Amino acid sequence: MTDTYDYIIVGGGNAGCVLANRLTVSGKHTVALIEAGEEGQSHWVDVPAGFSKLLTNPRHNWRLVSEPEKNTMNRQIAIPKGRGLGGSTLINGMIYVRGQPQDFDGWAQRGCRGWSFDDVLPYFKKIEDYDAADGPLRARGGPLPLTTVKERPEIGQAFIDAAKAAGHPENDDYNGESQDGFGYYQVNQHSGRRVSAAAAYLDPVRKRGNLAIITGAQVSRILLEGRRAAGIELRQHGQTRQLHARAEVILAAGAFHSPQLLELSGIGDGGVLRAAGIEVAHEAVGVGANYIDHYCTRMNWRVTQPVTLNELTRGLSLVKSVLQYALTHKGILTYGTGLVHGFMRTRPDIAGPDVQLFFMHASYANAAERKLDKLPGMTIGVTQLRPESRGTIHISKPDVATAPTIRPNFLSAAEDRRAMVEGMKMTREVVAQAPMNRFRGAELSPGADCQSDDDWLQFARQNGQTIYHASGTCRMGTDDGAVVDPALKVRGIDGLRVVDASIMPTIVSGNTQAAVFMIAEKGADLILQDAR
């Protein structure tokens, strides 16, 4: 096996799979894709509902946790991150949300020229094969199949009707003209099966002679020659080896591991590096800063009819569902983490929705591990779309096997606390409408005793979780605190780029996987432009 390639991609997740595909198209460039995990071979990967089986499996999940923090009652919060070829697209809820145009226009206004919505829309369209494509904003023919949730139980439609009764619009395509409103989620599935980044982008090109896929290999540092990235060092099967890059090293390891790898290589805030026993090779104060994530509370109600997944996934009902899925790829095993969406504005003076809802006709005895209740129930997740709180992700030891220290700083900003409280109050108002009367039982959490804003905030502090949309820790920009420039090149180091969720200056308004696909598609074009 050769030890020199034109491009070395570190991370075989969402972005890495896209890059491996696009950088090998011409046949002119040799590419190595390095992934710490293995192939996503579990039979649960293809079954959409299988995410609940994979979410706590260390083979497919790094199982990171946050540091205890006062704002969230000194809890350690579980932070899932996908492991293996396909990354988090192996274990996520498959929900596909681009975000709002002003998200990307905001990036451009911060100095990231080339990243406005008009600039990135062609890449979003390049990604998708949307089975209901209509108009200039959507497309067919891309590598990633997208469909609107097919299984639509009566309780889901009742929730949409309740939202309309509360004054919210119905919206069939939140990735179209407007995000406002309620409807069914769009997911990356085809014929009832999950389509991961590996399935969409990597599987069709595995046999290309200019692509080497190296799994079970954890990169421990970037090899620097002065101010140039010359390659990487990795550990595989207990052995250490080095690979060299003629053109570029590309970090696509995600918002946790890309900054970790930069710091282990001596690129970062000098104070952080010295405290961890790392010699400073290049001062870059923004590495590991600007950590942004979506914090979500889950409100639960008892349901008065046996129509929820709590009882449909037990005993004979489950046996029937398994047989149905095996024969038709239809039924409850096609569900991910969201059935009905809601995008709401908690204030009339903002340009777009600032709260997102995830309705599911299921309730959890343990939300972090997706263990269902025994009695019928429903859950509505409530998340603020554009949090102002910022945290950090930093190394504490000079060893890649030691997970980075994760401090999300959730709910530290006053606007975040306000929006979460208002979003939960508005959610209770929707559920109280007449269309939900035949399904709505007692409110289980936070419960009827939760009335004041202080009560709501205390519930959020005690019960909120991340919905694993980590971003921002290698922020793109043109100021001194930016880690990468608008071409995604690490500022001050030649031959090194970051292409993943960590480059987001601000988080997008919704689930982040769609934006990461876009970042990788655009990143591949930027790399190939330089090659030409």
**Residue whose structure tokens are 């097919």:** 150
Length of the chain: 532
DSSP category for residue 98: -
Give the C-alpha separation, 332 to 360, whole Å.
12
Residue 419 DSSP SS3: helix
Give CA separation, 277 vs 258, 270, 396, in Å. 19, 10, 8
Task: Work out the end-to-end distance of the chain between its first and last CA atoms, rounded to an integer number of angstroms.
Answer: 27
Of 93, 146, 94, 151, nearest to 331 (Cα)? Answer: 151
Task: State both tokens at 154.
Answer: 């009566």
Rounded CA-CA distance 120/525 in Å is 12
Give the Cα separation of 88 and 90 in Å (integer): 5
- Contacts (Cβ under 8 Å, ≥6 apart) of 135: 176, 177
Q: Cβ contacts of residue 274 below 8 Å, gap of 6+?
A: 280
Tokens representing residue 447 in the block: 């419960």
Query: Residue 331 and residue 319: Cα distance in Å, rounded?
Result: 12
Closest by alpha carbon to 109, among 390, 474, 478?
478
Q: Which residue has the tokens 């079954």?
A: 47
Closest by CA to 407, choosing from 293, 524, 267, is 293
Q: Which amino acid is at 104?
A: F
Q: Which sequence positions are flagged as catalytic?
A: 469
- For residue 180, give every residue at least 6 positions away whose Cβ sits within 8 Å of its Cβ, in sequence order, or none: 168, 169, 171, 174, 343, 344, 345, 352, 353
- Say which residues have a Cβ less than 8 Å from residue 99's Cβ, sequence separation at least 6: 508, 509, 510, 514, 515
Write the CA distances from 149 to 54, 175, 192, 338, integer angstroms.
21, 14, 9, 9
Amino acid identity, residue 120? V
CA distance 359 to 338: 6
Query: HEC string of 144-177?
Result: EEEEECCCCCHHHHHHHHHHHHCCCCECCCCCCC
The tokens for 186 are 């769009």
CB 150 within 8 A of CB 142: no
Pair of tokens at residue 326? 């095996």
